[in-house]
Amino acid sequence: MAEDAIRKELDTLKEDIAKLRTDIGDLTSAIKSVASEKVSSTKADAQRRVQGAWEDIESKLDEVLNQGRSAAADVEDKITAHPAGSVLTAFGIGFIIAKLMDMRGKH
């Protein structure tokens, strides 16, 4: 009789261990699924941020290029309006730079 009780306890314990293995397997699968979803979500978020940053950079670059073109057009308009003054100004700036470089070379 004691043997039957022990055998019954052992069978119950075996069933509990089998159930525990199944539960651990299910839990592992659930954790993998949640982790995979989180990685996918984080990756998509990072891609959106990178895309947004890239669009901002392109926008700023276009803005700077447009400002440069505008400034070049303004300079061209001023040179066209005052060609003699522009030549004299360029000559004067070149002369000053040459003198500064000459003075620098003597020291």
Q: Report how far residue 107's alpha carbon sits from residue 95's, in angstroms, rounded to the nearest whole number.
A: 19
SS3 category, 1: coil
pLDDT of 106 over the 80 cut = no
Check residue 1 and give its pLDDT. Answer: 66
Tell me which residue has tokens 């592992």.
28
The whole-number pLDDT of residue 57 equals 96
Q: What is the reported pLDDT for 107?
A: 62
Q: What is the pLDDT of residues 33-62, one digit of tens each?
A: 999 999 999 999 999 999 999 999 999 999
CB distance 35 to 29 below 8 Å:
no
pLDDT in tens, 67-97: 999 999 999 999 899 999 989 999 999 999 9
Looking at the predicted structure, is the pLDDT value of residue 2 above 80?
Answer: no
Q: Which pLDDT score is estimated for 6?
A: 86
Stretch 23-32: mean pLDDT: 93
Q: Which own/partner contact pairs does 43-50 have at CB distance under 8 Å and 24+ positions apart?
A: none
